[in-house]
A and B are shown apart, each in its own frame.
Chain A
Amino acid sequence: MLSFDLHKRKFLTVFLLLLFAWSLMGVNWQEGVMHSSGISTAGEIFAAMFTPDLSMDILLLAAESSWLTLAYATAGMSLALILALIFGILASGVLSSGKRSRTLMKGSFRGVLGFMRAIHELVWAWLFVASFGLSPYAAIFALAIPYGGILGRIFADMINDVPEEPIKALRATGASRLQCLFYGYLPSVKNSMISYTMYRYECAVRSSAIMSFVGLGGLGYQIQLSLDDLHYDEVWTFLYFLIILVVIIDGWSNMLRRRMAQ
């Protein structure tokens, strides 16, 4: 049976490779792949990588935009965490007693979480900007909803993967479902929840930067303005600030993880 499956997988690989080769024939290689001055523009952009604009006002602007980007990401993530905890715990089904109510609860809340993350944060941003205008709330909600959906889904899976024995033992000491949640499930998954949330926070900073292309201010917005003015050196200043942000958060998350491991 297994060898048959492996066989099938090889067929699939070959099929996909052939499909890819065939798709290459669909490309018009003469024109359309790159516009005429594309290569020289790309050269200019990457040359600017080594000469970022380090003048005082650009640095200040970059620092301010980084702060804004970080603030959106942090606020969005905090809200996402609250949403994820509530919906994630409900979607894990550990609070319901009967088998049928558990299936119902799992199904419906997993559905809600699926809806939240099916729509990309950029699309949520468009929708919220269209309804709220260019306000920080648009950015925060646009981040919080899909990230809440992603985190909630993962939290629910983590809770469902908690080993059964300690939970059964808690039930035997007379603990209610809610008491089991706080004494069994949550302590067991706390560390993985924190490290996954930190990873998602890092993603949220990147998303927040991208989202400001919509016009919400922040690093992405500045990158767009500088690109439009063909100031590639400024673009790189902003990009370096973004990289620094992500590296700092990664360092923080490593620190947290090391402390939790003790």
Chain B
Amino acid sequence: MSEKNIIEINQISKNYERKIALSSLSFVVEKGELIALIGPSGAGKTTLLNLLASILEADSGELLVDGKPMSQFSDQKKRAKKIGIIRQQFDLVGQLPVIHNVLAGRLADWGFFKSLFNLFIPQERQEATTALKRVGLPDKLYERTSNLSGGEQQRVALARLLMQKPEIILADEPVASLDPARADDVLDMLTKLAKEEHQTVIASLHSVDYARKYFTRLIALKNGKLFFDLPADQVTDKQLEELYQLKELS
């Protein structure tokens, strides 16, 4: 793995009023890694993802994306080319047909008039069709998005990411509201597509099983601190037990 580091996190801290969300966290992410963030609720997973998405700002420490500080990505359109986000469902505009939700991934590149015109005559249909084919929904182009099931909606969100083509994908509990079969399906697709596109994925997950199954590296957070950071196949059951333990062993 001699490729350069795409994300560098250095002694980063974030507090909410009195409560510590993250305290001097440091790690480095290489290009193309598939990382799962695990840890009990309130460990700081979402805070970390929001920092990376520049929805929040760190109190102290350094966050470099592609060697540049986050402040260089303050332009929404520029940042969208670097970082894409997928969350639980409810991320799509239900009243729009599927194709427009997919094509929304291109809004960063389109001017206002092109995007307005697109609502009447869809542009780049070929690419949208290809993206939907890759996520396994080739015949749902003009279906109203809200008529799709939860799993299908997450696939549409994946197709949107395919159109957006960010270098980094941040996934905040991407399968939290899906049943196990759909969850498997969506995670499989997310990691497979990311590998094909040479994208880096950082996903927060509740389920350790999914994390081990689909991701190459596990970063465990507990009380805002790094608990362990290991390749997926080196994590032991004992470590996981300690991670989710309610009280610290003294």
- A residues sitting closer than 8 Å to B (CB atoms) are 163, 165-166, 169-176, 178-179, 182-184, 187-188, 190-191
Contacts and interface: CB of A to CB of B under 8 A. Distances in A.
Contacts of A174: 76-77, 79-81, 107-109, 164
Contact of B164 (A173, A178, A184, A191): A173
B115 A165 contact: no
For A166, A172, A178, A187, the residue with the greatest tally of chain B CB atoms inside 10 Å of its CB is A172
Given A182-B119, A187-B96, A163 B90 contact: yes
B132 interface: no
Contacts of A173: 80, 84, 104-105, 107-108, 160, 164
Contacts of B81: 174
B92 interface: yes
Contacts of A175: 76, 104, 107-108, 115
Nearest to A170: B104
A94 to B, nearest CB: 14
B79 A183 contact: no
A184 to B, nearest CB: 5
A179 B115 CA distance: 7
Interface size class of B (residues with CB under 8 A): 20 to 34
B117 to A, nearest CB: 10
Nearest to B53: A172
B225 interface: no
Interface in B75-128: 76-77, 79-81, 83-85, 87, 90-96, 100, 104-105, 107-110, 112, 115-116, 119
Chain A binding surface, main DSSP class: helix
B122 to A, nearest CB: 12
A140 to B, nearest CB: 29
Q: 10 nearest interchain CB pairs?
A: A174-B108, A174-B80, A175-B107, A169-B91, A172-B85, A174-B77, A165-B90, A187-B95, A187-B96, A166-B93
A178 B93 contact: no
14 contacts: A163-B90, A166-B91, A170-B104, A173-B104, A174-B76, A174-B77, A174-B108, A174-B164, A178-B112, A179-B110, A179-B115, A182-B116, A183-B115, A183-B119
Contact of A184 (B93, B105, B110, B116): B93
Interface string B48-91: 00000100000000000000000000001101110111010011
B96 A176 contact: no
Contacts of B164: 173-174
Interface of B: 53, 76-77, 79-81, 83-85, 87, 90-96, 100, 104-105, 107-110, 112, 115-116, 119, 157, 160, 164
A183 B90 contact: no
A169 B90 CA distance: 9
Nearest to B78: A174
Contacts of B92: 166, 169
Nearest to B92: A166
B104 A190 contact: no
Given A176-B107, A179-B115, 7 more contacts: A169-B85, A170-B104, A171-B76, A173-B164, A174-B107, A175-B115, A188-B93
A192 to B, nearest CB: 10
Contact of B95 (A165, A182, A190): A190
Nearest to A167: B93
A191 B95 CA distance: 9
B91 to A, nearest CB: 4
Nearest to A172: B85
Given A165-B87, A169-B85, A176 B112 contact: yes
A175 B87 CA distance: 17
Contacts of A166: 90-94
A137 B202 CA distance: 62
B1 to A, nearest CB: 28
A105 B93 CA distance: 25
Contacts of B85: 169, 172
